Structure 1
Amino acid sequence: MTTLWTCLLLIALGFIGVPVANADCECGYSLNSTVFTELVESDFTLSGNITENTDWVVQEWEVSKEASKGPYGRNAQAKNVVSNPSVQHNVSAQGVNGDPAGLELFVRRPDDNQDYIGVAEVDSRRTDMIYGTFRAGIKTTGVNGTCGAFFWYLNDTQEIDMEFLSSQITANSSPINLVLHSLLTEERGGDAKNTPTFKVVSLPFAADEGFHEYRFDWQPDKVSFYVDGIWLADMTNSQYIPQSPGKIILSHWSNGNPLWSGGPPEVDAKMTVSYVQGYFNSSLPSRHEDYQKRCKGRQGSLSICPIPDQKGAPKVGAVHFFSQQAGGDKTPNQTVYDKHLLKSLGSGLTAGRDSWVLVCSVLLASVMSLAL
C-alpha cells in the first residue's frame, strides 16, 4: 500500500522535474582536493549471481600458447567465475559454499596432454573510466603457479596493474608487482620488468590468508599505489601514464611460463574478491551533461562526499559503501547495480525516474485489473 501511495503522489506531482527526495553527493566524491563525478561500487559478498550483475561482464575467450607466450594457451570460461555470497551479509565472513564470501576466480589444473589452462576474467561494463581511485578487497590463492591481477586497462600499452604471483608468496611476505604498461613494454617484447614503471614491494603478510584492500589512484601526472590504506609507491613518469579512458579488470590466470605466472597449478587455484569500488571521471559527453544537471545550484557540505580511506585490512561489515548508507540517496544518477531490478541504475539522469515508472505501471495495472 505504501508503494501504491508513492506512485499516486508521483503522478499527482507530475513526477518529471519534481524532486521527491533529497540526495547527497550530487556534485561527486572527493579524494583530498580532487573531485570525481562517477561511482561504481560492487559488494560481491552480497551479490548472488555475477551473470546477473549488470556492472560486470564475465569474459569467455581463448588464446593459443603462442599468443599467450607460454607453454600453455589460456581459456577463459564463465564456469571459472563463481559467486559465493555471505550467509548473512555484513555479519558473517562465510559464504554459502563454506569458504570466505566473495567472487571466486579459478585457475584450473589442466588435464594430462591438455594444451590450455582454464582461467577467469571479469571486466567492468563501463569503459569510459578516466582518472580516479580504484579499490578491491582480495584474498589471493596459496596454490603455486598463478597470477592474480586487479588493473585498469585500455590496451597492452596503456595499463595500470597490481599483480600477485602465487609462487612468490610466503608465510611472512607477499611481493606485489606494480606496473604501468606502456610503449616501452611493447618495445621490450611485453616484458615490463626492466622499465622505469615496474616496482616490486614486499608486503608484511601472507596475502593468501585473508582479505586486503589493493588500491591505485590515477591522476594525469601520477599513479599512487596503496594496500590497506598505506601508501606503497608513486609513479610519476608522465609520458608513461595513461591519458585515455578504459575499464577495470579482475583476472586470475596461468600460462605455465616460469618467467612470470609459473605453473600450471597442480590443483585448482582460487582467488576471491570481496568488493570493488571505483570513483572516477567519465569520458562520455552524456555523463558530463548529467553531472551539470544534477549538480547545478547545489551547495553545502553534502553536495560533495569525501571518499573514506580503508584503515587496515577490510573487516566484515566495516567497509564503507555510499550505495549502502542509510538516511538518504548518496549515489544519485550513478551506476549502482540493484539485484532486485536486475539492472544498473543511474545510466542517465532519468534512470531513477524510469525505474519508478516501471514499478508504478505494473502496480497500477494490477489494481485496475482487480477493479474491473
Structure 2
Amino acid sequence: MPLSRLSYHGGREAHRATVTNTAGTNNTDCSCGYYNPTSGEVFTDSIIVYFNETSDWPDSLVVESFEHKYERNWNALYRQAASGANVQIRNSSSDSSSSLELYVSPPTSNHIVVSGSIRSARQDIQFGSIRAFMRPPQAGIGGSAMSMTMEYNETESITFSAMNTDDPGNARVSTLLHSEFPSPSLGVNFSTLEAYSRANDTPSPWDYNEFRVDWTYSAVKYYIGDLLVRSVSRDEDRALPSTPAPVVLKHWSIGDTYAEQGPPTQISEANVRWVRMFFNSSLMTKEDHLSFDSTCHGSPKCSMNDTTLRGSTSYISEATAAWEEPPEPNFLRLIPAWICAFCIVLTVFLLAHTIILQKLANMSKEPKGSVDYLDQSQLILAASFADSTGHNTGTTTSLSVVTMDGDDPNIRRVNDYSSHNTQDDGSMTAWESTRCNSLLATVTAMEPNEAKDSPTASKPGRKVSAALVTASLQPRKRVDYLAGLVTFCCMAITVQHFGFTFIPALMYPSDGINAHYESEVWANKTIGPFLLNQIFIGIFFTTSCRFLVVRYLESGDLIALAEKITGRAFRLIIPIAVIAMLEYFLIECGAITWLEMLPSITWSSWPYTVAIANFGTYLDGVIELAFLVPNAVPQITFNYCTGILWTIPVQLQGSWTTLLAVIVVYEIKRPWKRFLYYAICISFNWYALNWGSYFWGGLLMADLDITFKYRKWLLSHSLAYYSLMIFYTICVFLSLSQDSFEIWLSYYFNVAELDVHPDILTGLPIQQTPRAGSVEYYVPRLNGLVFSIAAQGIVELSPFIQKVFSSKIILWAFPHVYTIYLIHGFVFWSLGAWLCIMLSGIGLPYWANLLVVGPACYITIILSLPLITPVVEALGISIVKDIWRDAHEQPPKRRATLFPFPRDILANYDVKLESS
C-alpha cells in the first residue's frame, strides 16, 4: 500500500517496508518520519519535550487557563478550572526528581476546583503514538486524576487516566473512548498492576510509568509500559475517533463518585517527566502525501523508541487552530424539520380552533326547560355526558374527575342532570337499540354512569319519566376534601422532586458541603421534614381504596367491582404509555441534553435518565409495569424523567388486594371480627414489607365511613372526637418527625424498623444480612403507613381542613393530578435544566436563578395541562369503556356477511343472468 495513502489516513495500517533506523539529536534528522518498530506504523511529525532537562517553557506546549461554566457529567458536583499557577517545572540537581508538576487545589466555596493543565500548541494531530512518562497523584489526600486526553468533542475523545481515588484500595487506571461511563471494567486496578510489577520487575503504578496511546484509523490501544491495558478495533466500534485534536495533559478533579472521586482536601501533586508525541497532521493534503511518499520512499526513518530524539517538528500557524468540519449542504436535512414544524403548528391550530369553538358554543347556549319524558336515545346522551369531564348537559355541569391513580372517584360538586328537547324522530339504529338495552337500567339510587353500566335494561322504545331520571340522579355525598388531599400530596411530591433536582441541601441531611446558602441547611433541619417528606406518597395508596370500593360497600353489587377489575390496569397504564412515548420522542430529539450538565451547577447528582434503546425496549418497559411484583423498580424508571413509575406496580397490586379484600370484609358482619381481621392483615403485610398494609389501611378508613358512619357518631360524642383528633395529630407529627430525629439526634428510626423485618432471600432478620442499614425509597415504612392513615383521618374529621382542601383552585387541579404526576419531571429536567444553566452562564446568583426557574417550570406545567390531559384521558376512558362494554354486554346477534341478501346471491351469477 502506498505510503501516501497510509499517511493520509493516519497510518491506518503498518507500513511493512524495510526501514533503516536513524538516530538524531534533533528532529531535523527525521524529515522522513518516525517508525514504530513494534507495530510498523510511520508518522510524519513529532513533539518531544523532557521537563527534567529544561527550565524554559517549550513553544510546542501551552499552559491552559480557563473556568468551565458547567461540566458534562452526571456525577460532577464541582466545576473544573485551570491556572498557570498550578503548573511548574521543578529544577533539581538530580534528574530523577526534576519534572513538570501539576497541582490540584482544594475546592472553592463555589465548587470550583483549580487544576494544572497543559496542551499541545498544535491542534491538527490526527492519529499517532502519544507517550508520557507520568506519576499519578499520591494516596491519602483526596481523589483526583492525572490524564492524557485527545478530545475534539463528546463523541470524538480518547482519555487515559491514573486515579488515586479517596480510598487508595480503589485506585485504578481508566481507559475511555467517546463519553463512556468510567466503569472499573474499562481499566485496571492499581492492586493488579502492583502484582504485575512485582512479577515482572516493573515500576509500581504509584511511581513513574510510561502511559502510551497508539491511535490509528483501525484501532486504539492503551499501554502502561509494555503492558497492553485495552485495545478497541474499528470492527468492535465503528465510531472510533478520527477527528484532529490537541493532546492535553492535566491533573484534575470534579468530584465524580464513580471515577476519580474527591476533590482533594489539600493541594495534590502529579508529575510528568517527559512527553513524546509522534503523529500525522490533518493539514497535509493528498498532494503533500504524494510528495512525502516520493521523497522518502526507501529513505531511513527515525525510530520512536530512540530516546536521544529531542525537539519538535516545525509547523505553520494554521496547525494551532481547532479543526472545523467543512460545511455541507443541509437542505435535505431541513425538509423533515419543516414538515415536523408544519404538523405541530397545524395540530396546535386545530386543537385551539376546536376548543375555542366549543367554549363559544357553550357560552351561547340558552337554558332549556325540562320536559316530562326522555326517550332512550336522549338518556344515552345523558349517560355519555356523565362519563365526560366538565361537559355541559342542559343547564348544569358534571365534574367527573380522575384520581392520581387513574380511576373515576365519582366526586361531584353538582351532580343533578336536567334534560332538554333534542330533535329526534324516535327511531334508532340496530346498534343504538342494542346499546340501550344495557344503558337503560333501573336508576334508583344510582349515578348516571352506574345506570349506564347496569346489566338490568329496559325494553327498547320505552319512554322513561324525566322525573324518575331526575330523582335518580341526586347528588352523592361530597368527598371533595379527599380529592384536595390527593392534589396537595401530588404538588408536595413535585416540590420534593424540584428540591432533589435544584436544591439538594434542602432535601438531604448534610454538613452544608452541597448547600449554595446556609439557609438551605437550616430549612432542611426545620421545615424540610414536615413539608418535603417522601411519605406523602402513601396518601395515594390509602385514598385510592375509597374510590375502588365505595359503590360495593354501599350496595354489595359485584358489578361495581367487576367494572374496576376489568378496566383498572388499562386505566393506569394507557396514560403512562402515552406520556412515556412522548418523552421517548422528545429525549431522542435532545430535549434533556442539558440535564447531564446540571449537577455541576445544582450540586445534585439525583437527576439521571437515558434515552430508550429502541421501540421494543419501550414496549417491554410499559408491559413490565402491569406485571412487576413490588418491591422492585421497573426498568423504564431509568428512561423516564424522575423515578415515579415505581409506584404503578404498587398501585396495581394494591388494587387487586383491595378488590379481593373488600369481598371478604363485606361478608364479615360482626364488627369485632371485621376489625380484628383488619388488624391481622395490616400487621402481616407490614411485617412482610408489603405495600398491602397501606391498602388495607385505606380500606379500613373507607369501611369506617361508608358502613359504620363513624364520622356521624364522633361528631355527636365530643370527647371521643377530640381524643381521636389529638391522637391522629400526634401520629402525623411523629411520622413526619423521623427525618428530624435523624438530623438532630442521629437516630435512624427507619433503619431500626427495617432491621426487624425478614429478608425475602434468606428468611433471616434483615439486621443479620448485607441489606442492613439501608432503606430503599421503594420499600414501605411504618411511619409512612401511620402518617397516611392518620392524615386521612384528620381530613375526614376536620371541617376546617375539609374546607381548605375543597377550595376551588385545588379542585380545579384535581382532574389534572395524574398528568401533573407524570409530566412534572420532564419539565424540570428539560426546560428547568436548560434555563438554570443558561442563567448560571450569564452570572446570575443562584437564588435569583431559582426564582426564575421555579415559576417558569410550574407555569409551563399549568399551560400544558389543557392540551395533554384531554388527549391522555380520552384515550384511557375510550379504551376502558370499550373493554367494559365488550366484557359485560350481550353482543349483537351474529348475522351473515351478505345479510339481508341470501347467501347464494353471487353463486352461479352468470347462469342466472342468462336464464333471466
TM-score by length of 2: 0.28
Tell whether the 8 Å contact from 2:64 to 2:83 is kept in structure 1 after alignment: yes
Structure 2 unmatched runs, 5+: 1-26, 198-202, 317-916
What SS class does the counterpart of residue 165 from structure 2 fall into? helix
Does 1:56 pair with 2:81? no
CA–CA distance in structure 2, aligned partners of residues 176 and 66 of structure 1: 21
Match of 1:368? Answer: none
Deviation at residue 26 of structure 1 after TM alignment = 2.5
CA distance in 1, matches of 2:86, 2:205: 19
Q: How big is the alpha-carbon RMSD for the aligned residues of Structure 1 and Structure 2?
A: 3.1
Q: CA deviation at 1:223?
A: 1.0
Higher helix share: 2
Q: Pick the aligned partner of 1:347 from 315, 321, 342.
A: 315
**Does the 8 Å contact 1:26/1:298 carry over to 2?**
no
1:19 equivalent in structure 2: none
Is 1:203 the counterpart of 2:181? The answer is no
CA contact (8 A) 2:182 2:258 kept: no
Partner of 1:275, secondary structure, is strand
In 2: Cα distance, 1:287 partner to 1:267 partner: 51
The answer to whether residue 22 in structure 2 is matched with residue 27 in structure 1 is no
- Which is strand-richer, 1 or 2? 1
Could you say which residue in structure 2 is the equivalent of 1:132? 128
Instruction: Tell me how far 1:25 sits from its aligned partner.
Output: 2.8
In 2, the alpha carbon distance for the partners of 1:297 and 1:70 equals 49
What is the correspondence of 1:109-124 to structure 2 with a 5 Å cutoff?
109-110=106-107, 113-124=109-120
> Could you say what secondary structure the match of 2:152 adopts?
strand
Aligned 1:178-197 pairs, distance under 5 A: 178-181=175-178, 185=180, 191=181, 193=183
**Structure 2 residue 81 is the aligned partner of structure 1 residue 87:** no
Aligned residues of 2:187 and 2:229 also touching (Cα < 8 A): no
- Report 1:70-109 matches (<5 A): 70-87=76-93, 92-93=95-96, 100-109=97-106
Alpha carbons of structure 1 residues 84 and 246: separation in structure 2 relative to 1, 3 Å: same
- Is the Cα contact below 8 Å between 1:26 and 1:295 reproduced in 2? no
1:317-346 alpha-carbon deviations (Å, 9 max, x no partner): xx81412xxxxxxx7xx52xxxxxxxxxx2
Report SS of the residue matched to 1:45: helix
The superposition leaves residues 119-143 of structure 1 with CA deviations (integer Å, 9 ceiling, x where unpaired) of: 1211111111111111100011113
3-state DSSP of counterpart to 1:109: coil
Counterpart residue number, 2:309:
322
Equivalent position of 1:144 in the other structure: 142
Name the aligned partner's letter for residue 146 of structure 1.
S
Q: How does 1:4-23 map to 2 (within 5 A)?
A: none
Distance in 1 of aligned mates of 2:131 and 2:167 = 21
Contact 2:50 2:274 in 1 (8 A): yes
Contact 1:27 1:291 (C-alpha < 8 Å) held by counterparts:
no
Structure 2 counterpart SS, 1:347: coil
The structure number with the bigger radius of gyration is 2
Quick one: which amino acid aligns to residue 291 of structure 2? Q
Q: How far does the alpha carbon of each residue in 1:288-307 deviate from its partner, in whole angstroms, 9 at most, with x for none?
A: 7399369726745xx21222
For each residue in 1:250-276, what CA deviation from the matched residue of structure 2 results, as whole angstroms up to 9, or x when unmatched?
Answer: 011112232222112121000100011
Deviation at 1:221, TM superposition (A): 1.4
Q: What SS does the aligned partner of 2:291 have?
A: helix
Rounded Cα–Cα distance in structure 2 between residues aligned with 1:211 and 1:304: 29
Per the alignment, residue 304 of structure 2 pairs with 307
Contact kept, 8 Å, 2:119 with 2:248, in 1: the verdict is yes
Equivalence map 1:267-286=2 (5 Å): 267-285=266-284
In structure 2, how many angstroms separate the alpha carbons of the residues matched to 1:253 and 1:134? 20
**Per-residue CA shift, 1:228-286, capped at 9, x if unaligned?**
12222211134131112111100111122322221121210001000111111111137
Deviation at 1:65, TM superposition (A): 5.6
User: Is the contact made by 1:102 and 1:273 (CA closer than 8 Å) also made in structure 2?
Assistant: yes
In 2, the alpha carbon distance for the partners of 1:168 and 1:267 equals: 12
Q: Which amino acid aligns with 2:270?
A: M
Gaps of 5+ in 1: 1-21, 94-99, 186-190, 309-318, 324-330, 336-345, 349-372
Aligned-pair CA distance for 1:107: 0.5
Structure 1's 73 and 298: CA in aligned 2 closer, same or farther, altered over 3 A? closer
Greater RCO between the two (CA within 8 Å, min separation 6)? 1
Counterpart AA for 1:240 = A
Task: Give 1:76 shift.
Answer: 0.9
Return closer, same or farther for 1:161/1:259 CA change in 2, 3 Å cut-off.
same
Instruction: Look up the match of 1:230.
Output: 227
Equivalent position of 1:240 in the other structure = 239
Q: 1:110 to 1:126 in 2, by over 3 A?
A: same
CA contact (8 A) 1:222 1:234 kept: yes
1:160-198 CA deviation, whole Å, 9 max, x = no partner? 111122117748x9521111115xx4xxxxx3539x9x4
Partner of 1:153: 151
Q: Which amino acid aligns with 2:128?
A: G
Q: What are the residue-to-residue correspondences of 1:247-262 with 2, within 5 Å?
A: 247-262=246-261
